[in-house]
Structure 1
Amino acid sequence: MRLDELLPEWHFRERHTIEIDAYADTVFRAVEDVTWREVPVFRALMAVRFLGRDPAGADARIVASMTKDGFAVLDRLDNELVIGSVTTPAFRATGVLPPDLPSDVFAKFDAPGHLKIGFNFLRRGSTVSTETRVWATDERTRRLFRAYWTVIRAPSGFIRRVWLHAVRERAENEPVFL
């Protein structure tokens, strides 16, 4: 299921794009292979979040690390990778949803006090985008997250742009074998 189907409505959203001259499979391989070392600002912010502990080694893949820390790959399509999580405003995994979360369970989840977070990488022609959407399951949770979003939105957007540049660097420099 596409992000548009999994999280068709949202309270908070951010989208970034980049042009990448590479085949779709090369782009998505790059998305999944980018490491924390290639997006150092993301790694630094995660270390702050984890009180100085490095949540993953510099050479660990970001997507793989995220799926070990409360996120799930919800779908892999020819032109879109969708990742999501259900969490609380304190960002503690709820234990409700497994790492191999079925996308239909994510789509239907609506228990009060939670945030549904979904993001994707989408390729249309040579344009690759990443979009983040957040849906609060109730008004109190929405108000709590709004304060956090006000603080984190700019750094989060910067991380996404650096991540997209790392994807482009990997994809456009991958050897092509004929």
Structure 2
Amino acid sequence: MNRTLCNALGIIGRRDNLLWEYPSPFLRWFQFHECHESGAIRAQPEAIIAAVCALDMREDRVVDTLLSLRELPGKILRKFGDPALQQPSAPFGFDAFTLLERTASEVTFGLAGRFWRPDLKTGHIPDAQAFKALDDPNVAKLVLRFQVIEHAQDIYTLRTETFVYCANTRTKILFTPYWLLIRLASGWIRRRNLASIQRQFSTERAV
């Protein structure tokens, strides 16, 4: 596949990894990447990051609908199919992720699983050390990073990046069509998350 097209689809080659300006310290390599950025926010970085950590994605009706659609195959399997899936899972949100790092201007979450499966097959990871140490070639490792970017005159933007690493060719082959399928919805969710946080501070200023 053409390199320019791959980059447009968020598929990243090893050469791009070597030249990446600000890679995630929680993944040695990554093959998939997505990035979105908010409009201007007039608030301190600590407050913006606190808003990210407090965000309930499911309060947004559009996001809740998209995530509910993604959860539907797993619910159907639990009801009619796979006996191993009888235990109902909690609604997907930031609670499903592991907090890897939080600073005054950045917060990073991690998630690992066989995302291409109907039930996602994500597992609990207790902390950043366990996430780094996880060495299962059958799962993809995902890092979600929110970073406050400073601009002139105390104006900031909030950038979100998603990095995904697949340990072997088989896992990458399984993950790639899923990535291409959900990329549009995933980007929509990220943009709505960013817009929600931006509106929050606009409302606070207005009050």
Report TM bin, short chain: 0.7 to 0.9
Amino acid of the residue matched to residue 103 of structure 2? Answer: L
What is the CA–CA distance in structure 2 between the aligned matches of 1:165 and 1:104, rounded to whole Å?
Answer: 32
Aligned to 2:122: 93
Aligned to 1:11: 31
Aligned residues: 162
Aligned to 2:83: none
Match runs of 1:5-44 below 5 Å: 5-18=25-38, 19-36=40-57, 38-44=59-65
Runs of 4+ in structure 1 off by over 4 angstroms are 52-56
| C-alpha RMSD of the superposition | 2.5
Higher relative contact order (CA 8 A, sep 6+): 1
Deviation at residue 42 of structure 1 after TM alignment? 1.8
What is the CA–CA distance in structure 2 between the aligned matches of 1:43 and 1:160, rounded to whole Å?
Answer: 12
Aligned to 1:78: 104
Q: Which has the larger radius of gyration?
A: 2
TM-score (normalised: structure 1): 0.80
Amino acid of the residue matched to residue 109 of structure 1? Answer: L
Task: Identify if the C-alpha distance between structure 1 residues 8 and 128 changes in structure 2 by more than 3 Å, giving closer, same or farther.
Answer: farther
Deviation at residue 55 of structure 1 after TM alignment? 5.2
Deviation at residue 175 of structure 1 after TM alignment? 6.0
1:109 pairs with 2:137: no
Alignment partner of 1:146 out of 163, 172, 176? 176
Deviation at residue 8 of structure 1 after TM alignment? 4.5
Partner of 2:65, secondary structure, is: helix
**Structure 1 or 2: larger helix share?**
2
Asked whether the 8 Å contact 1:9–1:135 carries over to 2, the reply is: yes
Match runs of 1:125-164 below 5 Å: 125=150, 126-164=156-194
Deviation at residue 103 of structure 1 after TM alignment? 1.2
Deviation at residue 37 of structure 1 after TM alignment? 5.3
Unaligned runs of 5+ in 1: 57-61
Asked whether the 8 Å contact 1:112–1:137 carries over to 2, the reply is: yes
Amino acid of the residue matched to residue 76 of structure 1? Answer: R
Asked whether the 8 Å contact 1:22–1:172 carries over to 2, the reply is: no
Alignment partner of 2:203 out of 170, 173, 176? 173
Identical pairs, percent: 27
Deviation at residue 149 of structure 1 after TM alignment? 0.6
